């Protein structure tokens, strides 16, 4: 788990003051490239870890060698827990480790560090969208950690655009698309960050609801979205080599089937899968690019849409001349 490595790398730097990527890789039993990426991640997060060039160089934690986390400043502690927080979704062990790290901090830092650890939830399963990075994420992260009410203009897909006011409870990074889980006068709401403009922090604070579980709340949101988006499911057969590609294309809407004898590829090297989208046409459009490599077993409406797409392609691109080989 990357969070384990980041904490181990930080504690090793605190104990030794300076370490090379190769030495860290040997300690953590990872590749040198992985160790270097972890060190760069700590540095990018605001932890005072810097590379030292030249002979006898390496990576150094400024401020001298320490044996615990109490040497971190408040901004450094916040940066560290923002970096580690998403790992808490991995399970109870990761959450317990984060709680122990919070207790290792000076008392004046603990509340903000704990808030930072809960600020961001990572959901790696995408919905097939490519959304550019949003500058509002940094401001909203500050609002979540500081527990400050935010105001913003929002153009919702199913509601009239207008100025909104909300209590930011947590952010979700869904494969590069960011969402804000927040409390409003009308109850819990989820906002897509790329539809938010003019985000501003107010001077008004708020108290998080008792027992708030942002990852759990997000799973409820995902469940509802899945029900709306996955209205048509198709059974397909594809070569085993294309299974990772289909999983990436359909995200949560792709499941690999099992054979009655225990699963695995069929005798001809093809695997049974189920893929889904909001319409038969959408399923067909996402599969058409695979040509004959992917066979749609059913339903008939998806097969019909593929036939229509094929006819459209022939009408536009077909020619009596055979391509030269």
**Token pair 């040509």 in the structure block, residue:** 291
Q: What is the pLDDT of residue 149?
A: 95
pLDDT > 50? residue 100:
yes
Using a pLDDT cut of 90, give the percent of the chain over it: 20
Q: What is the pLDDT of residue 125?
A: 57
pLDDT > 70? residue 185:
yes
What 3-state class would DSSP assign to 135? Answer: coil
- Range in 55-59, 168-172, 189-193, 202-206 the model is least confident about: 55-59
> Under 8 Å CB-to-CB from 160, ≥6 apart: which residues?
none
Section 248-258 average pLDDT? 81
The CATH code of domain 122-227 reads 2.30.30.520
Q: What is the pLDDT of residues 33-75, one digit of tens each?
A: 888 888 888 787 677 788 877 666 788 877 643 435 555 565 6
| Nearest CA among 82, 181, 180, 88 for reference residue 134 | 180
Q: 49, 59 in Cβ contact below 8 A?
A: yes
Q: 59, 52 in Cβ contact below 8 A?
A: yes
Q: What is the pLDDT of residues 291-309, one digit of tens each?
A: 989 999 999 999 999 999 9
**Token pair 């560090």 in the structure block, residue:** 113
Q: Structural domain boundaries of the chain?
A: 2-117, 122-227, 230-316
Q: 38, 6 in Cβ contact below 8 A?
A: yes
| DSSP-assigned states of every residue in 98-132 | HHHHHHTS-HHHHHHHHHHHTTEEEE----S----
The CATH code of domain 2-117 reads 1.10.10
pLDDT > 80? residue 22:
yes
Q: 168, 144 in Cβ contact below 8 A?
A: yes
Average pLDDT value over all residues in the chain:
76
CA distance 204 to 151: 11
Q: What is the pLDDT of residue 130?
A: 53
And the tokens for 193? 């960050």
Q: What is the pLDDT of residue 314?
A: 87
The CATH code of domain 230-316 reads 3.30.70
Q: What is the pLDDT of residue 323?
A: 55
| Nearest CA among 176, 178, 214, 217 for reference residue 196 | 178
Q: 169, 212 in Cβ contact below 8 A?
A: yes
And the tokens for 39? 């060190």
pLDDT band at residue 86 using 50, 70 and 90 as cut-offs:
low
Angle of the 32-44 helix axis to the 74-84 helix axis, nearest 10: 130
In terms of average pLDDT, the best of 52-56, 176-180, 188-192, 229-233 is: 188-192
């Amino acid at each position: 788990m990357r969070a384990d490595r980041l904490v181990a790398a930080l504690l090793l730097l605190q104990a030794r003051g300076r370490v090379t990527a190769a030495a860290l890789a040997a300690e953590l039993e990872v590749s040198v490239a992985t160790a270097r990426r972890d060190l760069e991640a700590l540095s990018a997060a605001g932890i005072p870890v810097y590379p030292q060039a030249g002979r006898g160089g390496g990576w150094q934690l400024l401020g001298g060698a320490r044996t615990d986390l109490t040497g971190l400043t408040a901004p450094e502690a916040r940066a560290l827990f923002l970096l580690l927080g998403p790992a808490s979704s991995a399970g109870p062990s990761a959450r317990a480790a984060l709680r122990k790290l919070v207790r290792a901090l000076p008392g004046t830092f603990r509340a903000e560090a704990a808030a930072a650890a809960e600020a961001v939830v990572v959901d790696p399963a995408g919905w097939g969208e490519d959304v550019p990075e949003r500058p509002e994420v940094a401001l909203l992260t500050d609002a979540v950690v500081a527990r400050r009410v935010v105001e913003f203009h929002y153009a919702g897909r199913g509601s009239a655009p207008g100025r909104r006011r909300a209590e930011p409870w947590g952010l979700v990074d869904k494969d590069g698309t960011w969402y804000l889980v927040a409390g409003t006068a009308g109850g819990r709401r989820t906002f897509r960050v790329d539809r938010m403009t003019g985000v501003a922090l107010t001077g008004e604070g708020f108290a998080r609801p008792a027992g708030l579980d942002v990852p759990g709340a997000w799973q409820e949101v995902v469940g509802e979205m899945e029900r709306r988006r996955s209205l048509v499911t198709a059974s397909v057969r594809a070569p085993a080599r294309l299974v990772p590609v289909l999983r990436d294309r359909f995200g949560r809407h792709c499941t690999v089937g099992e054979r009655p004898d225990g699963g695995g590829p069929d005798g001809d090297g093809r695997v049974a899968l189920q893929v889904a989208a909001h319409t038969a046409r959408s399923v067909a459009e996402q599969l058409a690019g695979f040509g004959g490599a992917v066979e749609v077993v059913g339903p008939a409406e998806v097969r019909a849409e593929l036939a229509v797409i094929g006819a459209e392609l022939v009408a536009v691109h077909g020619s009596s001349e055979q391509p030269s080989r």
